Amino acid sequence: MNNKQLSRGQKTVVGVQFLFVAFGATVLVPLLVGLDPSTALFTAGVGTLIFHLVTKGIVPIFLGSS
């Protein structure tokens, strides 16, 4: 595994890419299947917080709705 640190530009690109993935999984999918995106956002946030509490923040992850 490479321990090289990412530059600010690379971090920005990765962050924007993650934003599109998280948006698609958390907002777009519920809209396509007729569910409420607010509920999906709330449950994704609660699930992510519970996961981080259980793992003590060791695993950096976002739990989406899909």
| pLDDT value at residue 25 | 82
Give the pLDDT mean for 39-58. 91
Q: Is the pLDDT at 1 greater than 70, yes or no?
A: no
Q: Is the pLDDT at 23 greater than 90, yes or no?
A: no
Domain-by-domain residue ranges, the chain? 22-66
Q: Pull the structure tokens for residue 1.
A: 């595994």
Work out the percent of the chain whose per-residue pLDDT is above 70: 94
CA distance readout (Å), 32 to 14, 24, 29: 26, 10, 5
The span from the CA of 26 to the CA of 36, in Å, is: 10
Characterise 6 by phi-psi region: left (phi > 0), alpha (psi -120 to 50), beta (else): beta
